[in-house]
Chain A
């Protein structure tokens, strides 16, 4: 099964304020403020480079970070995180991509 491809919200859609270990993300469209911890800011940054599926995103992240999880765990975790972020409206699924 092919993975869904996700796109980050455009940079102007979010106001980001670093608060040490936590980031505050104000999402203009929903009016909600999310306090997020790692790995959420890192995932959003990596996805901001362009739409990607979980595997593509893992590659981008592994180029920058030492990933604590092995590949299968990382992919499963990324899919979970992307689903959570989609529910918050912080990422969108590309239309026409696999479910």
Chain B
């Protein structure tokens, strides 16, 4: 790369003629994709809003359901289950996952909601927020 001039001549005087063949071979029509991988910022960006993103418990599709201690959603009024209709911020859930209680809840209620959050999967409201909590920083 840092060779300044055009084809340098070797001391024995035969360098010039052979110089072109030393050029690197470049194949433009690569058979496989030339871009090996693209890492898009989606979830990394979501992590920046972790303080403010929200996780509804349960998600709107299950509004009116209660949350059992294991985090599953059950019909309202089920014995041992906790009423839903709560919304927690990403930061509150993160504190909860570290061992704290969610605001306004006792230990068991808090654990039920956190179990619900742990069971969230892709497509459920709050999942992206939960996933962004899991991104290491």
On A, residues with C-beta under 8 Å from B are: 22, 30-40, 42-43, 58, 61, 64-69, 73-74, 76-78, 80-81, 84, 88
Report the nearest B residue to A70, measured CB to CB.
B29
Contacts of B40 in A (CB 8 A): 30-32
Is there contact, CB below 8 Å, between A34 and B38? yes
- Contacting chain A: which of B16-24, B66-74, B83-91, B115-123? B16-24
Q: By the criterion CB–CB under 8 Å, are B26 and A61 in contact?
A: yes
Query: What residues of B have a CB within 8 angstroms of the CB of A40 in the complex?
Result: 34-35
Complex CA–CA separation, A73 to B12 (angstroms): 38
Name the interface size band of chain B: 20 to 34
Q: Write the nearest CB–CB distance from B36 to chain A, whole angstroms.
A: 4
Known: A34-B39, A68-B29, A69-B29. 20 other contacts (CB 8 A): A31-B41, A31-B45, A33-B38, A34-B38, A35-B36, A35-B37, A36-B35, A38-B30, A39-B26, A39-B27, A39-B30, A58-B28, A64-B23, A64-B26, A66-B21, A66-B24, A66-B25, A67-B25, A67-B27, A84-B34
Cross-chain contact B28 with A67 (CB below 8 angstroms): yes
Q: Chain A: which residue is nearest B44 at the CB level?
A: A31
CA distance A61 to B30 in the complex (A): 15
Can you report 19 A-B residue pairs in the complex whose CB atoms are below 8 A from each other? A30-B41, A32-B41, A33-B38, A34-B38, A35-B35, A37-B34, A38-B34, A40-B34, A40-B35, A61-B28, A65-B23, A65-B26, A67-B26, A68-B28, A69-B27, A77-B28, A77-B29, A81-B34, A84-B34
Against A, the Cβ 8 Å flags (1 = close, 0 = not) of B119-134 are 0000000000000000
Question: In the bound complex, do residue B25 and residue A68 qualify as a contact, i.e. CB atoms below 8 Å apart?
Answer: yes
A37–B26 touching, CB < 8 Å: no
Find out whether the CB atom of B26 lies under 8 angstroms from the CB atom of A42: yes
